Amino acid sequence: MGMVGDIFPVFNQLLGREVKERQLGQRGVVVWLTGLSGSGKTSIAIAVEKELYSNGFFTQILDGDNIRSGLNSNLGFSAEDRLENIRRIAETAKLFAECGVITICCFVSPEVNMREKAKQIIGEDDFYEIFINTPIAICEQRDVKGLYKRARAGKIEHFTGVNAPFDAPLKPFLEIKTEGTSVLDCATILVEALIERIKLK
């Protein structure tokens, strides 16, 4: 008796990206939110996801909570591990995008080389870099996880904005200045910038 592939020749042929995008009625992209810890990346992403969902789009958010606890649970915060963290995230996001999913990534990714690596893996046409620009004073005031406080006390080394630099994107797809702007308004700005790019032509 032959193998399954002999009986069903199509079995070994993966469905292409265009087929999946047509089924979902959208174009798969990676929306890469970068900014300081506490800048509002995840809050904005959640609001964007809800707005897109209400308009019939299918999304997936990737952030530190659902990546560091699983896929990258074996990584620390050395320079090498941080770069590997971004590499794995980019590879995962690429898979989602190739399935037609609008993938929203929320990572500090403070160095230009990290974001360039992500763009190289994902592909320039699918990569939308969004700079969530929030002054460090506001980020530190929020300090939801107490990270700034610990960094100021010398308990966290190489913490972005305190004892490690943040390389602001020079030419992001979109820069959102959050000071004085609500999360919902930030989300609307982002959705309006993306909407024509995620609709199927």
**Domain boundaries, given as residue ranges, for the chain:** 26-198
Asked if CATH classification 3.40.462.10 holds for the domain at 26-198, the reply, yes or no, is no
Which residue is listed with tokens 């046409």? 125
Helix axes 41-54, 183-198, angle to 10 degrees: 50
Q: Rounded distance, CA 16 to CA 18, Å? A: 6
Interval 51-65: pLDDT, tens: 999 999 999 999 877
**Which token pair is 150?**
């610990």
pLDDT reading at 167 higher than 80: yes
Total Cβ atoms within 10 A of residue 22:
12
Q: Rounded distance, CA 70 to CA 7, Å? A: 38
Interval 84-143: pLDDT, tens: 989 999 999 999 999 999 999 999 999 999 999 999 999 999 999 999 999 999 999 988
pTM over 0.75: yes
Q: Looking at residues 73-82, what average pLDDT do you find? A: 77
**Amino acid making up residue 188:** T
Q: Which active-site residues does the annotation give?
A: 109
Would you say 62 and 106 are in contact if contact means Cβ atoms under 8 Å apart? yes
